[in-house]
Amino acid sequence: MKSLPCNPVLESAQFVHQHSKDVAIDEAAVERTAHELLRALEEKPYSTADWKRHPLNPNTADDAAIDWIFLVDTLNFSFWSDAGEASPDRFAVVLDGQRYTGYWSLCACINRALAEGIPVTSAAYYAHATDDELRRIFRSDARESVPMLDERLAVMRQTGRILLETFGGSFSQCIRQCQGSALRLLALITKQFPCYRDEGAFMGRTVQYFKRAQILIADIWACFEGQGLGEFHDIDQITMFADYRVPQALVYLNILSYSSDLWALLQRQQPLASGDRLEQEIRAVSIWAVELLRRRMVALRGHNTATPAINAILLDFYLWDYAKTHTDALRSVPIHRTRSIFY
């Protein structure tokens, strides 16, 4: 089956990068990081097999895992805390004696509900559960509540009902309709599920980011290790996922540079509205920077099978995990603070 021509997210990223005023890419740092990452990947290969090693991720590749991934990526947004990254008050979930914050606190909420016998990953449940039932799933083990709780309930209901009414209640059916094409699945997700339609208006053009739609595809591909329902012949067309964590790592690695005005704004923790030009430049130029890094690493790797195959997904997962395991080092780089259901 012919795949779609190209990923609209990559075209959008290139367009915004061409007109970006406050965010730039340092080509020398891209070159340096390409070499460094290739060496790191030769020493410690990073592949889809790493996905199931995260303790909170499913460790099976079946329909239950698909349902889990679909619900988590429907809710995979806005975990940064008003109280501050290091605040003891920030939203947290304790599960099996471990305290989770950020993205992992979401996974802990879902796994805690499942452990309590609540079928939370079933669309038949979350499309019709009461406010009290859903609020209890996100209860906090700290002073702060989960950010954007009302929006989370709304997207669960909206998405659950669409899945029930149009796709028989399972995201596996959406995957099966796309003949193994990631770009067809990306188009289906962003057409059928409004909360995944992550777009912006930039210089009179509609630009696509599609962060949660792309990471949904990536998580399924990684969980299934590219087999069965996770097999996509065009998976390498998926781009980096424009969140608020990977840009922080890219700035730390000097690949991204911010204007002094933007740097000052972020350092005083000034919020950026969703759709603000600065927010879009950070997100889009991050996507383009990872694309340049990917192209360079693919070229340098050549046909050397000693390093695993490179694509934007694995680079993104690697950079995100790097940011999460180097929080002290990255503390000098401020994240941008945008409340959004898109990332």
54 binds ligand 56B (CB under 6 A): yes
E strand or H helix at 98: strand 98-100
Q: Residue 54 Cβ, how far from ligand 56B at the closest point, in Å?
A: 6
Dihedral over Cα of 274, 276, 280, 283: its sign: negative
User: 317, 330, 333, 334: which one contacts ligand 56B (CB under 6 A)?
Assistant: 317
Q: Is 91 in the site for ligand 56B (CB under 6 A)?
A: no
Q: Are strands 205-208 and 199-202 parallel, antiparallel or unpaired?
A: antiparallel
Q: CA 251, 254, 260, 266: dihedral to nearest 10 degrees?
A: 10
Instruction: Check residue 137 and give left, alpha or beta (phi > 0: left; psi -120 to 50: alpha).
Output: alpha
Instruction: By CB under 6 A, name the one of 55, 102, 226, 275 that touches ligand 56B.
Output: 102
Catalytic residue among 198, 219, 243, 316: 243
Burial of 337 (0-12, 13-18, 19+ CB in 10 A): middle
| CB distance 151 to 81 below 8 Å | no
* Among the listed residues 235, 320, 333, 334, the single contact to ligand 56B using CB under 6 A: 320
Contact flag: residue 68 with ligand 56B (CB under 6 A): no
Q: Which residue is nearest to ligand 56B (CB)?
A: 102
Checking phi first, is residue 71 left (phi over 0); if not, alpha (psi -120 to 50) or beta? alpha
Single residue of 126, 193, 244, 288 touching ligand 56B by CB under 6 A: 244
* Residue 70 touches ligand 56B, criterion: CB under 6 A: no
Q: Does 326 bind ligand 56B (CB under 6 A)?
A: no
Q: Which of 68, 80, 232, 258 contacts ligand 56B by CB under 6 A?
A: 80
How far apart CA 223 and CA 60 sit, in angstroms, is 8
Can you tell me which of 91, 209, 258, 343 binds ligand 56B, judged by CB under 6 A?
343
209 binds ligand 56B (CB under 6 A): no
Residue 170 to residue 218: CA distance in whole angstroms: 18
Segment contacting ligand 56B by CB under 6 A, of 29-37, 72-80, 116-124, 173-181: 72-80
321 binds ligand 56B (CB under 6 A): yes
DSSP 158-215: HHHHHHHHHHTT-HHHHHHTTTT-HHHHHHHHHHH-GGG--EEEETTEEEE--HHHHH
Catalytic residue status for 141: no
Interface with ligand 56B, residue 246, by CB under 6 A = yes
Q: Rule CB under 6 A: which residues touch ligand 56B?
A: 51, 54, 57, 76-77, 79-80, 102-103, 241, 243-246, 316-317, 320-321, 343
Positions annotated as catalytic residues are: 243
